[in-house]
Amino acid sequence: MVGRRHLVALALTAVLAAAAACQDREESPARHPGPPAPSAAAGFTLVATGDVLPHSSVVERAQFDAGGAGYDFRPMFEDVKPVVSGADLALCHMETVYGANGVYTGYPAFRSPPEIAQALAATGYDGCSTASAHSLDDGAPGVQRTLDTLDAAGVRHAGTARTEAEAGTVTLLRAGPAKVAHLAYTNGTDYPLPPGQPWTVDFVDESRILADARAARKAGADVVVVSLHWGTEWQEAPDDRQQALARGLTASRTDGRPDVDLLLGTRTHVPQAYEKVNGTWVVYGLGDQIAGEMFNQQGVQDPRGNQSTVARFTFAPPARPGGRWEVRRAEFLPQLFDVDAGRVVDLGKAMANGAGVQGVRDRIRDVVLSRGAAKDGLVMGE
């Protein structure tokens, strides 16, 4: 697989077939230019992307891109780099742990090359959620290795911990003039917690999340962002548990101020809807940003598993001291991972270059807007 260097137009053939039902639209959706970099007075822009899930074929591609000496994941992210590096704060979801001594594996127990962390930093990511179903694929050593590597690359992290003290520490990041707390949780893990270390991974629990969010406010957070590895795999509609948890988290307030300012979902392998719930934006599922060929629960290769969105939210400072930082612009950008070329593809840019991906882009748009987010101002950015 690593020798194939098909261009995007060839690699998208299978995807276009899956999206054929969308091809008969007479009009393309309007695209909206991204906002200029905000000044301190204007607030800040936050970007978030979906699951980084390096299957063996992805690892082989990185080895090919490195010329056979090591692994270079940076080319995979080139198309998204302008969006990521252009934000005041950029968050990813690092779904797997890092291996050691050249022993790297894909599904079902992932141990990924640590060079991924360097690529994330080079792309412009400031932090990543690390709580996922695969957080314990290599036990406590895998967690230790992953967080050590992210630290060395200058990428912050939330959701897993090496010590009990670290588990109790809020991840605070600077975004322009604001301090942003990043919290992360998973519905479960494929392997059990290490004996005597229940704090290694943060699990989804509404009371716990809200307690952590309030602690983050006390630690100085202006904005609290919660990443959730949740939902039903391959289901585009958010499930009942997602919806109930979203309602509970967004309804909670302390002294009249929401405890949570943004929810970012991963895990489902397909893009899911964005929705404003109780005045707070919820991204139910960003989709897989990087993954190999994906097979759904029926064992059929499913191109939706290589589709995702970039969420971009521009926050404005509060009108009064101690008030809420409000989202003044909400955007999504449709993406695709070209499994043959081994590259993330900006679907808007692909359209500008003549690649016939309108149907794929329209299908992602329809899913994202399926719960009425357009009426609350969500637009497709570029």
Question: What type of residue sits at position 116?
Answer: I
Task: Determine the Cα–Cα distance for residues 181 and 186; give it in Å rounded to an integer.
Answer: 17
User: Average pLDDT in the 118-141 region?
Assistant: 98
pLDDT at site 379: 98
If residue 129 lies in a helix (H) or strand (E), which one and from where to where?
strand 127-129
pLDDT at site 352: 56
pLDDT, greater one: 354 or 18:
354
SS3 state of residue 314: strand
pLDDT at site 24: 36
pLDDT at site 357: 84
Concatenating the DSSP letter of every residue in 152-200 gives HHT-EEESB-SSHHHHTS-EEEEETTEEEEEEEEES--SSPPPTT-TTS
Lowest mean pLDDT among 11-25, 32-46, 110-124, 148-162: 11-25
Question: Smallest Cα–Cα separation from 358: which of 79, 30, 23, 32?
Answer: 23
Cis bond before residue 108 (omega within 30° of 0) = yes
pLDDT > 50? residue 5: no
CA dihedral 184, 232, 12, 129 (to 10 degrees): 10
pLDDT digits (tens, 9 = 90+) for 289-303: 999 999 999 999 999
* CA dihedral sign of residues 279, 280, 285, 288: positive
Q: What's 8-19+39-380's CATH class?
A: alpha beta
pTM of the model: 0.89
pLDDT range class, residue 210, cuts 50, 70, 90? very high
* Alpha helices for the chain (secondary structure H): 8-11, 13-18, 56-65, 81-85, 115-123, 139-153, 164-167, 206-218, 240-251, 347-352, 358-368
Question: What type of residue sits at position 92?
Answer: C
